[in-house]
Amino acid sequence: MQLLAEAEVQDLQKAFEGLEQPVGSTFLIKPETGMVMVQGKADGTGTAFCIGEMTVTRCMVQVMDRIQGYAMVPGSDHDHARLAALFDALLQIPAFHDPLMTTLIRNLETKEDQRRQALARDVADTTVEFFTLTRGE
């Protein structure tokens, strides 16, 4: 669900267009933008306090009249929420699960790995290495 929530909407759209058979779905909750209050902890571990809200969009769909899919994605892109909910439903259906895992989900995982690796590389280069100068003797 996190992968779908953080995916770029183009990737979801492409995967949707690439589905072998068209999938009809009905909205149980139409895409709706709202907020979630984000809390932190005083001193990192203590009492909770409100930092501020974040914008999210939620959506719930039903496919094949029985399987429900849900998504809550950051931001206010309704298409993103709709597609994420749809794929959440499809991933629960065996006929769709395996092909999607090897295409869409693997693709999203690869992208996420690449992002993390790029960040790790950038960050590692800026870690300070101290050295001590020996004086005297």
Partner 1 sequence: MYVAVKGGEKAVKHSQRLVTKKRRGDTRVPEISPDQIKHQLGLGLDRVMAEGSLYDETAAAKAIQQAQGDLTEAVFLVRAFRTTLKRFGTSRPVDTTEMTAFRRVSGIYKDIPGGQILGPTYDYTHRLIETGPAPDENGTGPDQPMPSLPDKLPRVMDLLIKQGLISDAPSALSPEPGRETEEDLTRQPLTFPVSRTLRLQALARGDEGFLLGSAYSLQRGFGLDRHPFLGELKVGVATVCFTPPELGFEIRIGRIRLTECVMVSRQDDAHGRAAGFDTGYGLVFGQNERKAMSMSLLDRSLSDTDKNADADTDKAAYPAQDPEFILSHCDSVESSGFVQHLKLPHYVDFQSELVFIRSRGNDQAPTKGEDG
DSSP 41-98: EGGGTSSEEEEEEEEEEEEEEEETTTEEEEEEEESS-HHHHHHHHHHHHHTTSHHHHH
Q: Give 36's contacts (C-beta < 8 A, 6+ positions apart).
A: 53, 54, 56, 72
Residue 117 in the binding site for partner 1 (CB under 8 A)? yes
Binding mask 35-64 for partner 1 (x = CB under 8 A): xxxxxxxxxxxxxxxxxxxxxx-x-x----
Minimal distance, residue 4 CB to partner 1, in Å = 10
Nearer to partner 1, 65 or 122 (CB): 122
Binding mask 79-98 for partner 1 (x = CB under 8 A): --------------------
Contact positions toward partner 1, by CB under 8 A?
1-2, 5-6, 29, 32-56, 58, 60, 70, 72-76, 116-117, 119-128, 130
